[in-house]
Structures are given as C-alpha cells and as structure tokens.
Amino acid sequence: MSKKIISTELAPSAVGTYSQGIEVNGIFYFSGQIGLDPATMNMAPDFKGQLEQILKNIDGLLESQSLKRENIIKTTVFMTDLAKFGQVNAAYENYFKAPYPARSTVQVSALPKGAEIEIEVLASKN
C-alpha cells in the first residue's frame, strides 16, 4: 500500500497528532475541518462564518492535491446543534452541483476549540 501524507498552508495546520490528510491508492482522506482561518488560526465567531470558512478550507485541501469539488465522494458533518441543519443544506446547494456526494450528519456534544460544526471529506482522483 502506498501512502502519501498531505500537508498544505491552504488549510489550517493540524491542532493535534494527526495529518491534514492522507492519500492511499487515489483516495484522499482529509481530516475534519473546523472554522479556523489558516492564516491566523482564529475561529470564525458564529455558525455561518464557521461553515463558510470550513468550505474554504476544504477547497484549499482539494487545491493542494489538484482536486476539485466534483472529486468529493463523501462528507461527514459533525454539529453541536442539528437545528442549524437547514443552513448546512443551503450551503451545500451553493457549494456542490448535483449529483451530490454521499453524506452523514451527526450531532455531537462538543467539538475542538469550541467549534459548532466540523466537516470531513473523502475524495477520489478517479
């Protein structure tokens, strides 16, 4: 198995013992993104801002590997309040084009750095 560690300044650096992503046989496993600005490592102040920053961070990860949004095959969304799920759907409608990637969403009690939302993605070059 060939494994490549992904590291880029186009997304926030890891805030723990993990990689920004790993590529194995053409599949990209990106670590969950929270609303941190990669330049300042400051968290966006509210849910909407965090969601917007997360999508920018995902774009940065994709760009670093010459991938596009269309290469995303699955997302997993972690939220501290599922009542805000409509905002996620609205953002997805603007961010993705049909056919949309597969998605799982779960409510959690807490996320790193007090984030309200975290999104991880799987992408494929194929």
Q: Structural domain boundaries of the chain?
A: 3-124
Residue 73 has pLDDT above 90, yes or no: yes
pLDDT-derived band at 126, boundaries 50, 70, 90: confident
What burial class does residue 60 get, using C-beta atoms within 10 Å of its C-beta: 0-12 exposed, 13-18 middle, 19+ buried?
middle
**Per-residue pLDDT tens over the stretch 11-60:** 999 888 999 999 999 999 999 999 999 999 999 999 999 999 999 999 99
Residues in the chain: 126
Query: Which residues have a Cβ under 8 Å from the Cβ of 89 and sit 6 or more positions away?
Result: none
Provide the CATH topology of domain 3-124: 60s Ribosomal Protein L30; Chain: A; (3.30.1330)
